[in-house]
Structures are given as structure tokens and as C-alpha cells.
Amino acid sequence: MDQIRVTGGNALSGVIPISGAKNASLPLMIASLLTDDTLTLENVPHLADVESLIRILGNHGVDYSVTGRRQAEDSNYARTVHFTARNIVDTTAPYELVSKMRASFWVIGPLLARMGEARVSLPGGCAIGTRPVDLFIQSLSALGADIEIENGYVHASAKDGLKGAHYRFPKVSVGATHVMLMAASLAKGDTIIENPAREPEVVNLADCLNAMGAKIEGAGTDEIRVTGVTSLAGARHRVIPDRIETGTYAMAVGMTGGDVLLKGARADLLDSALGVLREAGIEITDVDDGVRVYRNGNGLMPVDVRTDPYPGFPTDLQAQLMGLMTRSTGTAHITETIFENRFMHVQELARLGADISLSGQTATVRGVPVLKGAPVMATDLRASVSLVIAGLAAEGDTTVNRVYHLDRGFERLEAKLQACGADIERISG
């Protein structure tokens, strides 16, 4: 099993290209099920989750081809992928596939809308929380779907097609918003979605669906209106830059000091997070070709943060911020409101010498003058990269185990950091 070794102490300087967003790519790929034409997606990252979803879509009959660099020697690594779901050969998403990646459950929306039925395995829990599917079921039921749960599968049917509805999400859910948008696009009549997720990835999906012929207004606001159409066509669409990757590398620069251009990043996609980093004493400038991040070695100021749905501070940057705050000049408080089990990285950071205590959903982080390298274990995607951030500033070597978590969401992490002076390498096991 691969490991990543980090020897801390080097400031970062140079250019880091920001990849296409994983959290945007996955629903866009699933949207290919809505049409028998070809959907072409530009700027698709090369990630384990993307490759897993390609295999899952193939199970339903989706063909794909790739244009662009397959090798990773170029810093401008990105791919254009063409998806064609001309013939849906199977409307069942089996447990052995859905269990590998939770987002694959989202195929239930387009399969139901296009084929009139879908049978999808319940995804179960995951390391950072249970994340139930009740909001998916409620929203699809509002569109007229008949839904039964039996033997661990959700069986949804709409023999006469889905019908537009007025539905209010009782709780913000990014995944359920993606699914309802895709399903409502082919429903008969108008759909009004209140309290939807407002994340940029939702807007990116709505823009793609509109390019395919859907009629969606209000994505990114607290109310989305969808006028159903009888069919969707193919389109060409670009995946937005990954705002979580942007925030992660900004924190890495803040942790080590240095001066890095995050090429292709869009500051407008993560205003809240960049505002927090500025409060911590990191200089961040929006420039023509990305975002420049700079810290000259001054101490990091402690910040208090609460994770919230967009436009609040992203839960997907909580672990990274905690890693950063381990070296602040005071005491920071980080409250997690989205997932109930997303503090598993605390004990691993403590192995590096971090001083962190937990009370309910709030972590109190007391900055320490020195972190020291140690073997640590990744527990989930974002937790794994928080350990890398801490290791960049720790004395000696930090070895991160279970780096397959990293490969799910960070494209060429070691190469990007190496190019800016980090002493980091992957050790194949």
C-alpha cells in the first residue's frame, strides 16, 4: 500500500495548477444518462473517484472516450472526456458498485427520469457520518415517483413519467439537489425547488443541463425553477476549477510560508474560506490567471470558524484549517455542523504534537511552536491532506499511510508540491 513521506521545513514558491473540481465532475458525468447524445466534459481531473464512476456508468451502458494527456508529466494536465449513453442497458446500480463510492447513488435521478425506473443500492454509511438518503427519496416522491425500499435497494418507478412539483428541502443537501435538478429537467411541467444547495458545483451542473436544452433558472439562489422538457441533447461543457483544492493549497502556503500562484483558481468560488485565511494573516490576491497566496513568515493568527452550507465555510476545508491552526500563535475554535464524525484527524494531528481538545462538535486548537514528524494514518479524503499540510511544517519526516484516500480527490498532489519546493514523495508499497 502506498505511503507519502513529507520532510517539513521548506517554504513553497512557484505555480500550482488547479485541477477541475471532483465535486462538479461527478454529477456532470452522471448527467450523461439523461440523453442519447454525447456529453463532452472538459477539464476532468484524473482521480480515483472519477475512474470509479466511469466504470459505474459503463454498467448502465455509457460509452466513453478520452481526449488529452493520459500521462502526468505536464503541469497543465487535464482531460476532455466524451460520454455517450445511447442505450441504457441496465437500470440497476448494484451494491458492489454503489458501496465503493457514495455519489454513484445519484444515478437514481436521471435513470428514473429517462427510463421510468431505477433500482439503486442504498449506499450505507461512511467514515464521516451516516448521510442518509431520505432527502433524495422525499424529493423524487414529490415529483411523482413511487418508491419502495427492499433488500437494501431503493426501487423508484414513474410509469407515466415524472411531474413537476413545488418542493422545499427541510435541510440543505448538495447531492439531493443535484438529483432533483436532473430528474426535474425531464419532468412534465414546472418544478420549484426551495432551500436547495447553492454550491458552485450545483450552478455548474445547472449550466450544463441548460446547455443540453434544459430550462433552469435560479441555480445558486434559495429558489430554483425548472421547466421540464421532453428530451435533452448533447453538449460541450467545462468543469469549474476545484475550490477545495484551491483552499487546500492556499493553506499549505500559509503553513510553510512562501509565494505561490494557484493557476486557474477562481477566488469567487470560495470567498468565505479565503476571508478566513486573510484573517489568519495570509495574503491572498485575485489575479488575472488565478489566485496568488503569500506569507512572509509572520505568525499565523488564530481564527474561529463554523462550517456551514455554501456560502459559509466549507466542511471539506475544515480538516485542512485545523492542520493550519496547529501552528497559530493562539487558540482557535472550529465547529463542525455538517457531518457528525468529521474530527477523526484530531488524534493523528496529535501524533505530530498538536494540542487539540474536543467538546461535542467543536475543536479547540491551541497553537504550538513546533510540530514533529511521525507516522500517521489517513481516515478520509480531507483528513489525509490535513496531515500532509501539517507535515510540511513539521520537523523531520512525516509518513502518511492509507493515501488511497488522497487519490480520490487530489490530482498529482506530490508533483504539484514538489514543483514548489516541498520535500515530498510517494513510496509505493
Q: For the residues of 364-426, what is the DSSP string, one character each? A: EEE--S--B--EEE--SHHHHHHHHHHHHHSBSEEEEE-THHHHHH-TTHHHHHHTTT-EEEE
- Which of 164, 165, 145, 163 minimizes the C-alpha distance to 155? 145
More confident residue, 341 or 160: 160
For 180-196, the pLDDT digits (tens) are 999 999 999 999 999 99
pTM (2 d.p.): 0.95
What does pLDDT average to over the chain? 94
Using a 10 angstrom Cβ sphere, with 0-12 exposed, 13-18 middle and 19 or more buried, the burial of residue 144 is middle
Q: How many residues does the chain have?
A: 429
What are the Cα distances from residue 247, in Å, to 240, 272, 336? 14, 10, 17
Which residues are annotated binding-site positions?
A: 22-23, 102, 131-135, 171-174, 316, 338
Task: Look up the CATH superfamily of 22-238.
Answer: Enolpyruvate transferase domain (3.65.10.10)
What pLDDT does residue 379 have? 84
Percent of the chain with pLDDT over 90: 87
Residue 362 has pLDDT above 90, yes or no: yes
More confident residue, 69 or 345: 345
For 290-340, the pLDDT digits (tens) are 999 999 878 999 999 999 999 999 999 999 999 999 999 999 999 999 977
CA 265 to chain centre: 15
383 φ, ψ (degrees, to nearest 5): -60, -40
For 63-89, the pLDDT digits (tens) are 999 986 544 444 446 799 999 999 999
Give yes or no: 208 in active site: no
What pLDDT does residue 125 have? 45
Angle between helices 22-30 and 174-185 (to 10 degrees): 30
267 by DSSP, 3-state: which?
A: helix
Lowest mean pLDDT across 204-208, 338-342, 348-352? 338-342
Domain ranges for the chain, please list them.
Answer: 3-18+241-427, 22-238
Give the model's confidence band at 101: pLDDT under 50 very low, under 70 low, under 90 confident, else very high. Answer: confident
Residue 60 grid cell: 448502465
The fold adopted by the segment(s) 3-18+241-427 is UDP-n-acetylglucosamine1-carboxyvinyl-transferase; Chain (3.65.10)
Which residues are annotated binding-site positions for phosphoenolpyruvate?
A: 22-23
Peptide bond into 311 cis (omega under 30): yes
Q: Residue 7 pairs with which residues in a beta bridge?
A: 397, 423
Average pLDDT (232-251) is: 98
What pLDDT does residue 129 have? 43
Within 8 A by CB and 6+ apart from 332, the residues are 302, 303, 304, 305, 325, 364, 365, 367
What pLDDT does residue 69 have? 55
* Helix H or strand E encompassing 29: helix 22-30
CA distance 334 to 359: 10
149 φ, ψ (degrees, to nearest 5): -115, 120
Residue in the structure block whose three cell numbers are 463510492: 101
CA distance 27 to 393: 36
- Catalytic one of 15, 115, 126, 211: 126
Which residues are annotated binding-site positions for UDP-N-acetyl-alpha-D-glucosamine?
A: 102, 131-135, 171-174, 316, 338
CA distance 122 to 93: 10
Asked if the domains at 3-18+241-427 and 22-238 fall in one CATH topology, the answer is: yes
Residue 58 grid cell: 459503463
CA distance 19 to 78: 7
